[in-house]
Amino acid sequence: MTRNNVVTVLDPRGQPSGVFGRRSSGDNPGTILSPRVRPVDDRESMEKLQMAERLDTLEGKLIYLVDVGFPGSKEFLEELAEWFKENMPSVKVVYKQKKFDPYSDDPELWEEIHANKGDGVILGVGG
């Protein structure tokens, strides 16, 4: 094969799979290191996930500030709570820390928020 000969080579890139995500399991937070045992989502199931309808106003509403666990999240959300207290005092904010690592689901917390008739969630802060 000389330098100017035309050659054919194989494509090195992986194929799109329609599979997304590498959530770790809330039951076993250590699975963050092993994608083989983590649940995944496919395109179709993700497209079915609907955003919640927005609130008409925040006045008088119960808003959860959910800390995902990255460094600084708690402190940032505390400042956010202060802002609401000073600028929108009718908004009731509740701080909660999500269980396990930032990638894990926490169904119990979502249940708790529903049960307490939470109106909205601010989730943060991404790392």
Residues of this chain that interact with other proteins (CB under 8 A) are 1, 3-23, 33-36, 40, 43, 46-47, 49-51, 53-58, 63, 70-73, 75-76, 79-80, 82-83, 87-88, 103, 120, 122, 125, 127
The Cα–Cα gap between 30 and 38 comes to: 10
In angstroms, give the least distance from the CB of 104 to other proteins: 11
Q: Residue holding tokens 């909205």?
A: 120
Of 100, 107, 96, 105, the C-alpha closest to 73 is 96
In angstroms, give the least distance from the CB of 16 to other proteins: 4
In angstroms, give the least distance from the CB of 69 to other proteins: 11
Rounded to 5°, the CA angle 16-123-47 comes to 35
Q: Which two tokens stand for residue 60?
A: 């008088």
Residue 20 or 95: which CB sits closer to other proteins? 20
